[in-house]
Amino acid sequence: MVDSIDWIINHHEIVAGTNALFGLIERDELSKSCIAIDGPGASGKGSINKILKAITGCGGTLNAGTFYRASAYVLDSLGIAPGDVTPRDIRNLNNHLSYNEDQSFVEYAGREITQELNGARVGEIVANYSNVKDIKSAIFSQQRTIIDSGGYVLDGRDMVKHICPDALFRIYYTASTSARAKRRYEQFQRSGSKCDRSKTFDDVFHDIELRDEQDFGNTDFIFLRPEEAQVEVLSGGNREGEYNIFVDTSGKDVLQSSIEILNKMRGVLVS
């Protein structure tokens, strides 16, 4: 697995692909557009988000999952079950949760909680809180306010069809269940949490299968489906064309996936 974003964006194939891309679209236009990345959990959306931001020159990144994870973590820590969330609880989240510009640092009431958001416990409970309509509505409003100025690379399970349907490039980023479970299991093994390290690969595999069932059975989220992502040129929205790109990262590292996305971005622009 390639870990260094700087190494990736300076790789000769990425540099060549980036130069070719900007031969098809003005750098200023792309940097002021939005690129939305959809897909199931543990597919690597967050990593490719950072890489595309660096390549395209977009001004910011938005990781939708961080908002949901933070809300779930706080409510669970306060002993508030998903079915018991009140408008007062939503106001508490809005007033006391804070994020830096790329959501890599999260605080609640002045205490950093960033590390806790990637733990196994949050992974197990986040879908239940994400299905609470008041939580979804509040997070949707936050995210739309952030991205309304344009120039963002966005990733999240409902990003393409719900949060930013008018993105210039809409990427469906996926991998097999076993590939995603392997990534998440390795993440847990690197974690400082004893609870996370106690998870077996089979535990993680089962958790991802369960989350997929919850996600794709949830019509409120309006996910971009794989078969939709493979219809590359769409009409409507705020542009003459928006472009859907499908990438399966199974068996690929981040560099290989980045090269494939760049090639497909160029491909849809000339099609």
In the chain the first and final C-alpha atoms are separated, in Å, by: 32
pLDDT for position 75: 98
pLDDT classification of 233: cutoffs 50, 70, 90: very low
- Tell which wins on pLDDT, 194 or 267: 267
Residue 33 pLDDT > 50, yes or no?
A: yes
Asked whether 42 and 83 are in contact (CB, 8 A), the reply is no
With a CB cutoff of 8 Å and minimum separation 6, the contacts of 177 are: 205, 208, 209, 212
**Among 5, 155, 190, 184, residue whose Cα is nearest residue 68:** 155
**Among 115, 118, 142, 140, residue whose Cα is nearest residue 130:** 140
Average pLDDT of the residues in 32-51: 90
Distance CA 49, CA 34 (A): 11
- Tell which wins on pLDDT, 267 or 93: 93
The SS3 assignment for 173 reads strand
Q: pLDDT tens digits, residue range 108-153?
A: 999 999 999 988 899 889 989 988 999 999 999 999 888 887 899 9
With a CB cutoff of 8 Å and minimum separation 6, the contacts of 226 are: 172, 174, 246
Q: pLDDT tens digits, residue range 56-83?
A: 999 889 998 899 999 999 999 999 999 9
- How does the average pLDDT of the chain come out, rounded? 86
Task: Look up the pTM and report it.
Answer: 0.83
Residue 221 pLDDT > 80, yes or no?
A: no
